[in-house]
Amino acid sequence: MSKDRHADRTVVVTGAASGIGRGIARRFGDEGANVVVADIQREPKQGARYDSDVTTPTDVVITEETSGEATYVETDVSDADSVAAMVEKAVETYSGIDVLVNNAGIQIAGDSQSTSVQEWQRSIDIDLSGAFYCAKFAVPHLVERQGQIINIGSVRGFEGGGGPPYAAAKGGVVNMTRDLAIELGEDGVRVNCINPGYIETPLQDINTDEDVAKAEEHTLLPRFGKPSDIGDAAVFLASDEAAFITGANLAVDGGWLAHSGL
């Protein structure tokens, strides 16, 4: 399989400055893509459990193996105007968009009583509305190139857990994927969703040692996932090898959902 199967393609990855987004952006960079790092963070986040070796947003992409380019565009996905400006900048820089990866997201721990109204709205704005805004403004450019949308959902979108706003938002992402696939299929635009299980990123810093132990028991394979595992799935779904796959929800979860009976 060619290492440069995404050479000269333009890929927008939201939330790419750290975590899963970083893993996705790096894999596309490794395969020759020009990557737009769309993130609100100017300094990539470093978690207590998971160290980061990057100091600027474009460092998540550029390595000795990279044959593509990277451009950072400061983006607040919860703000439609910010998203529209990011898409415009991506098109201005690289003359179009081939792949949109809706990855940006947050998780707020808590239940229905401890989660504030403001926390609920912030989570929905970023995790769900942000994916819609990005799709809305990118679709005309994706249609021009018969491109792809890859949404990042979660196993929580199928089984619940992770807090009411997170579960609700990710469930929405799962079904929005299907709806967009129906809408855009006749235009040759494929839309799929990757649903990670427990992935080792700074997002997991909210978990206690007890939470981690429970996650280990629930994951069928003898390790947790890594951002590169999600990146591998993303570069596949965006490739010609996946040319007849659309509207799909791919679990990259080490068997988590199988353990749940889903």
Please state, in angstroms and as integers, the Cα–Cα distance from residue 253 to each residue in 14, 155, 188, 261, following that order. 21, 7, 28, 13
Measured between alpha carbons, how far is residue 182 from residues 16, 70, 187 in Å? 27, 31, 10
Our answer to whether residue 166 is catalytic in this structure is: yes
Identify the active-site residue in 50, 72, 94, 166.
Answer: 166
Cα 253 to Cα 113: distance, rounded to the nearest angstrom = 29
Give Dmax (Cα) for the chain: 51
Residues 6+ apart with CB under 8 A from 142: 97, 98, 100, 148, 149, 184, 189
- Tokens at 58, concatenated: 């474009």
Beta partners for residue 38, in sequence order: 14, 73
| Catalytic sites, residue numbers | 166
